[in-house]
A and B are shown apart, each in its own frame.
Chain A
Amino acid sequence: MKRILTGFLAVSLFALAACGGGAPAGGSGGGADTIKIGWIGPLSGENKTYGESTKRGVELALEEMGYKIGDKTVELIAGDDRSDSTEAVNLATKMMTQDGVAAIIGPVTSGPAIAVSAMTETYKVPMITATATAPKVTVNDDGARKPFVFRACFINPFQGQAAANFASEELGAKRAAVLYDKGNDYTIGLAEAFRATFEANGGEVIAWQSYGGDDTDFSAIMTNVSALKPDVLYLPDYYGRVSLIAKAAKDKGIDVPMLGGDGWDSPDLDFETLAGGYFTAHYSDQDEREAVQSFATKFQERYGERPDSFAALGYDAAKLLMGAIERAGSTDGEAIRAALQSTHDFPAVGGQLTFDEWGNPIKSAVLLQVQADGTYKYITNVD
């Protein structure tokens, strides 16, 4: 017990010293020739395929560079947050104070990403999330930018708009039912953006329905929704929950197109139930651009399967960060931050990336359709 206490004290003192001196912890954990990079995401639990894919993408990018930046070796320290904000903060604290990482790639989902992003300025450790799409990841509640936070994906309002435009213009929908998880920033963000755009397009949101994070019984909600006769359902949640909701909808005889966001992009999605549904995604392996095809081929060779959006974004995030560290020529947090921010026309799978003033890349989305055989059909690009 005494030893644990001493250890704890030592860690706290170290943390204090790290912020007091304003010096980043970079390099202090290992030899000067090693650059440590943290990775945080879910490798178990409800959203584990997101984490697994993203991590594979990151590792592929690092392997391509031989785990080297210049003459320095790169070491990846990965942590499983189970999509839990508290767990993510614990991991990030350990990485920033004990391991002395130069930067963090992750977290993968929006809740944990928002939690970790709040710590980055204190420790001066830059963070780039591959896939967290909530706007609040890079900006504070008061609208100020969190200077050390970047992402490799588009943001929620954009996805919601794209889905709403597709529903009104391509599907000709007039009456939408929107279901969202009231405890999840990601689904609230998408739902609100969808509602605003859909109503601006002259449509009507006839059901605006929330549910709780632990709910498994959607029969009551779906009975109500069914009676309102919607012509489109918008279900912006993660794949596990969406599968459950869609099944409840089918059970109540709701047989209209279902729309969703990038949370649907997972090999564990219930393809049979959601077949015919559309969702906004970050990339499609059927996209014919050279960068996409060469990435997809490399990924297939390495892992024996086609990459999903999460893998592509993980790859992009790792490449962006490596490039920035190389240009910065040091592991100093401030230098890496400045190099990331000045990224211009970086050749990524998701297109030529440039960060805007909010740390978000300027890029387009793709619209995919779920097929019963477990694949996606590329429908269109949305700018």
Chain B
Amino acid sequence: MEHLLEQTLNGLQLGFVYALIAVGYTMVYGIIKLINFAHGDVFMIGAFVAVFGFTSWGLPWPLAILVAMLACAVLGMGIERLAYRPLRIKGAPRIAALITAIGVSLFIEYFTSLDFVFGSDYRNVPRVLPERRWEIFGVSINNVQVLVLVTVLVLVVFLQLVVYRTKVGKAMRAVSQDMDAARLMGIDVDRIIGFTFALGSALAAAAGALFAMAYPQIHPFMGIMPGLKAFTAAVLGGIGSIPGALLGALVMGQVEVLTAAYLTTDFRDAIAFALLILVLLFRPTGLLGKTAPEKV
């Protein structure tokens, strides 16, 4: 029994990291109906900046995470400004934006693989915290797990406050419901879209930093799989819905870990993706998605 609890904890750790990435996908989709495929690469950049922060620049880890979040917020806004906004203003079809997103993703991956940027090596991440473990009712938990769980919870509460308790959050919700009406009400739609990218990218950066601490190895292509899983989680939960993304991510994390633990490691990804198909068969809009979903 303790064994199952401990595995659930492993799954929770993975699911929490996916959750931070998934909300970025879901917010951007909620507002401009774009699947931002470059999101996984923003996650990767966040991991690199945070690791440079607490290794080469000697920052304490909370500061390193903040620096990574800031850097990626700027990067996210930059991507939106340079790649997506020109298309939106010209009224290009959505498929054009989607393909641009794939292009941006590949560009980031291969550009950062160049030797004068990050290089294509796999880097080991040194331990940030001294190794420490506790046994609580026979369940073993380590300080990195605690760090991941607490940081994600704090960030999710922060996100809820921003979206539901601030003016800019209200504007985000308004834009996602009806962009034209929002513009008529005097909301600067482009600025709000930029803000949404910044917020989502900052959360992805935090996820990258935590991922690098929990699974300590980084390289320029590390964002692909977590990005894909988080996207799946967002769809599973109902894309466009923040609580849906969180729920979907938790389910994905658990399924992956429990499959590896009790069935076979050979099918951990296969079963996670098969679950997506199953859910979509019975609930095409995802677990918490509505037919007219409340977005953002």
Contact = CB atoms under 8 A, between A and B. Distances in A.
A224 B2 CA distance: 11
B4 to A, nearest CB: 10
Contacts of A217: 10, 14, 215, 256-257, 260
A257 B144 CA distance: 23
A209 interface: yes
B3 interface: yes
Interface string B31-47: 00000000000000000
A366 B217 CA distance: 29
B13 interface: yes
What does DSSP make chain B's interface, helix, strand, loop or mixed? helix
Interface residues of A, number: 33
A300 B270 CA distance: 49
A212 B3 contact: no
Contact count band on B: 35 or more
A345 interface: no
A251 to B, nearest CB: 5
Given A221-B265, A268-B121, A270-B124, A216 B215 contact: yes
A214 B225 contact: yes
Contact of B3 (A44, A223, A250, A272): A223
Interface in B56-73: none
Contacts of B215: 216-217, 244, 248
B294 interface: no
A374 interface: no
A253 B266 contact: no
Given A211-B265, A223-B3, A251-B133, A44 B13 contact: no
B10 A223 contact: yes
Interface in A250-283: 250-253, 268, 270, 272
A243 B217 contact: yes
Interface of A: 44-46, 48, 82, 182, 209-212, 214-217, 219-221, 223-224, 226-227, 240, 243-244, 247-248, 250-253, 268, 270, 272
Across chains A and B, which 7 residue pairs bring their CB atoms closest together, nearest first?
Answer: A220-B260, A219-B10, A220-B261, A240-B122, A216-B215, A44-B120, A220-B257
